[in-house]
Amino acid sequence: MTIRVFLVDDQELVRAGFRMLIDSQPDLSVVGQAGDGQEAVVALGRTEADVVLMDVRMPRMDGVEATGLIAGREGAPRVIVLTTFDLDEYAFAAIRAGAAAFLLKDARPEDLLTAIRTVHAGDSVVAPSTTRRLLEHFAAAAPATAGPAVAARLETLTEREREVLTLVGRGLSNTEIAETFVVAEATVKTHVGRLLAKTGSRDRVQLVVLAYETGLVGR
């Protein structure tokens, strides 16, 4: 199956470089591109894509707002945030808005290709190491106590569900969590499904953000 990639960047030369790299792969194909977030939101309403490479700093509509609008749609593509700034506040905001990963524009070509494939497979919680550093950085800068609205999302969780959420926040896979608790992987999948439903999280990435925001991880 070919992974359909959509490019969003206000620099045409950057898009051209990404396109050459991606189209050189037998399992990847660029299906469209946009020069800003507003154009991307409109284009992705009529273009089917699996993964979006999203720049954060753009005119008219930045990548944060665009990511939120795109990620809120049913069957939305996975968004990888691209930026030239390590530990960028914009990138963190985009991840909170629904992006699946964060990657620096100067990453090695093979790292970008791996991120696309991993995010598409749904296995990536915080695939690039920079994403974890980004979350840890902002967790350290956040207030010691989560706000009432954030904390309330944990109130209905069982003790085991909190434990699973903590391990998800640390980046462990279902297999690794199952080995930690000595249970079947199917049991972990059930716990994760309940966590998503109870906390109103869209995917594992949102669970990771929640784990950091509530202090379960990163303190």
- The burial class, CB within 10 Å (0-12 / 13-18 / 19+), for 133 is middle
94 or 182, which is more confident: 182
User: Can you tell me the mean pLDDT for 68-87?
Assistant: 84
pLDDT of residue 129: 59
User: Per mean pLDDT, which range of 20-24, 37-41, 74-78, 202-206 is the poorest?
Assistant: 202-206
Cα diameter, the chain: 51
Q: Is the pLDDT of residue 89 over 80?
A: no
What's the predicted TM-score (pTM) here? Answer: 0.75
Q: How many degrees, rounded to 5, is the angle at CA 160 between CA 138 and CA 208?
A: 25
User: Per mean pLDDT, which range of 100-104, 112-116, 120-124, 200-204 is the poorest?
Assistant: 120-124
What is d(CA 49, CA 194) in angstroms, rounded to the nearest whole number? 28
Predicted confidence band of residue 16 (pLDDT cuts 50, 70, 90) = very high
pLDDT of residue 143: 58
Q: What would the pLDDT profile of 125-176 be if each residue is shown by its tens digit?
A: 454 556 666 666 666 665 555 566 667 778 889 999 999 999 988 878 888 8
Sign of CA dihedral 21, 27, 28, 29: positive
Query: Own/partner pairs for 160-167, CB < 8 Å, 24+ apart?
Result: 160/191, 161/191, 161/194, 161/195, 161/198, 162/216, 164/188, 164/191, 164/192, 164/195, 165/195, 165/199, 165/207, 165/210, 165/211, 165/216, 166/211, 166/216, 166/217
Laid out side by side, the sheet with 51-55 consists of 28-34, 3-8, 51-55, 78-83, 101-104
Average pLDDT score over the chain: 85
pLDDT of residue 213: 80
97 or 3, which is more confident: 3
Predicted confidence band of residue 91 (pLDDT cuts 50, 70, 90) = confident
pLDDT of residue 125: 46
- 55, two tokens: 């720049």
